[in-house]
Amino acid sequence: METDCDDAGALAVLHVLADRGECEILATVVSVRDPASAATVDAINRYYHRPALPIGMVKGAEGVLEKSAYASRIAAEFPHRFAPGVEVPDAVQVYCDVLEKQPDHSVAVVTVGYVSNLRQLLELPAAEGHPSGLELARAKVARWVCMGGNFIGDPPHDDLKLGNVNFQRDAASSLYVMQHWPGEVVFVGREIGSVPSGLKLGECLARAPADSPVRRAYEHYFGGKAKSRHVADLTTVLFAVRGLRDYWDLSAPGRMDLQPKMTFDWHPAADGPQTYLKKKLRDGKPNDRYIESVLEELLMQPPGHRP
């Protein structure tokens, strides 16, 4: 919840899917070292009538800190729990507290930013009768859905011509997590919802209530008026909750061979634990406008509404 307004759009979509009874939100953690980002998450949670959701923030010098066009402004404009001097809880502790209480293989972990928190979780040792972070991830998480990578070609090969900031800005954590994650991973690459996908959404928020922190995030991002932005994070959340449906196809299984410079090769393997989304074609053309319409309906649904 920092450098791009689609972070706010994705959280809005997640809340609406929960309002519709399609998922339960267990916690919302941020992967940057900016308390205003956690405050923005809290403000959006409150707007959608979930003020008690656990919130955490990455701790430690390896956490990313980038300038945000909207986070500090949302924190100043909307109520939240993180007044000056109130410390944001450690995201890893939130992960542990939440995961320990869940049934085995029941949780979807969704990352739409950096994976710093996941690295710290996987590195956490067992202590005082509590399992290690690695053991928790293996036992409790059914699937990790990760927004990141560029899956172009067959098999895909990412040479970073399109950029891949979710991996690059904390490259050490990205490399560690890709090498140690113990279960299934589905990647939602940039070609699904970012550049060069061709999908955009956000201008519709000009019709949202003036007290919507999501609308305000898009307005601040664009300097005053809500405009359309890519939907990389929104598509990631939509897949995490609804699955493929008639939205996307799934690649054959394999594994990402991520290199320290954040380039990667994809190695197909019948028993591979990783896959990535692929655009679904309708009459030989991508169904981009259909995906946009699905996301717009969710983004514009009022809080608490159950259609």
pLDDT number for residue 120: 97
Q: What is the CATH number of domain 91-299?
A: 3.90.245.10
How far is residue 87's CA from residue 61's CA, in Å, rounded to a whole number? 16
pLDDT number for residue 282: 87
User: Tens digit of pLDDT for each residue in 127-161?
Assistant: 999 999 999 999 999 999 999 999 999 999 999 99
Mean pLDDT rounded to a whole number for the chain? 96
pLDDT number for residue 4: 96
How far is residue 51's CA from residue 35's CA, in Å, rounded to a whole number? 17
Amino acid identity, position 137: A
Boundaries of every domain in the chain: 91-299
The model's pTM is 0.97
Decide: residue 128, CB within 10 A, 0-12 exposed, 13-18 middle, 19+ buried: exposed
All residue ranges of the chain with pLDDT < 70 are none
Q: Which residues pair with 57 in a beta bridge?
A: 30, 90
Please measure the distance between the N-terminal and C-terminal CA atoms of the chain and give it in whole angstroms.
Answer: 28
How far is residue 107's CA from residue 86's CA, in Å, rounded to a whole number? 29
pLDDT number for residue 205: 98
pLDDT number for residue 305: 76
